[in-house]
Amino acid sequence: MRTASVERNTKETQIKVSVNLDGTGEYSVSTGIGFLDHMLEQLSRHSLMDLTVAAQGDTHIDFHHTTEDTGIAIGEAVNKALGERKGITRYGSALVPMDETLSRIAIDLSNRPYLIWRVNFSKPKLGDMDTELFKEWFQAFAQAAGATLHVENLYGENNHHIVESCYKGLARSLRDAATIDPRKADAVPSTKGTLGGSL
């Protein structure tokens, strides 16, 4: 089992995260932000990654620090659980429909962080959460996880559907990319023999 735990403590947030990449999609998530909890539950369930998140943050100011730092902590835990990344499929992608919405997500667990974000929202908030914070979460996750991540909403009208399809797409692509390929379970999937650094 590829598991990891991470604690992140700052003056703004206190976060504990644990992941099991070879889990069954069990989760226990509490961030103090209801919509973010809902998205992280989707991430766990559809990636089959067991996920525990306990976060406290300065949500009396706004949701920015808790959202970003949760992305960092989950990304760090995924990175740690991947270890040397031997045997992983490395690449994953997903087209995820949700009613009128369709989003496309592609991931490379390359250990070279990069985010392409082509997602627009028609409203500044979903409930109490600023929609601009979703990019911050995906950026933080990609950076900490060592993932090249492309997130694109192809079309959609409902903002809830748009962001949820992005999280579900991340889940499905991460599930595929992190899967061990039994044909090369002992080898890093790169001609360099290691992941990260220059192309």
Residue 110 lies in a domain: yes
Given a cut of 80, is residue 187 above it in pLDDT? no
Q: Using the predicted structure, report yes or no on whether residue 191 has a pLDDT greater than 60.
A: no
Give per-residue pLDDT as tens, 20-34: 999 999 999 999 999
Residue 51: which of 86, 16, 79, 80 has the closest Cα? 16
CATH number at residue 102: 3.30.230.40
pLDDT at 186: 76
Average pLDDT, stretch 5-21?
97
Q: Kindly state whether residue 104 falls inside one of the protein's structural domains.
A: yes
- Cβ–Cβ contacts within 10 Å for residue 187, how many? 12
Mean pLDDT score of the chain, rounded to an integer?
94
The answer to whether residue 199 scores a pLDDT higher than 60 is no
In a domain, 141, yes or no: yes
Return the SS3 of 126.
Answer: strand
CA dist 87 and 165 (Å) reads 28
- Does some domain include residue 74? yes
User: With 80 as the cut, is the pLDDT of residue 188 above it?
Assistant: no
Domain coverage including residue 132: 3-184
How many domains does the chain divide into?
A: 1
Kindly indicate the confidence band of residue 40, based on its pLDDT and cuts at 50, 70 and 90: very high
Q: Give residue-wise pLDDT tens across range 157-184.
A: 999 999 999 999 999 999 999 999 888 7
Kindly give, in sequence order, each residue whose CB lies less than 8 Å from that of residue 9, ignoring residues fewer than 6 positions away: 15
- Mean pLDDT on 95-112: 97
pLDDT-derived band at 189, boundaries 50, 70, 90: low
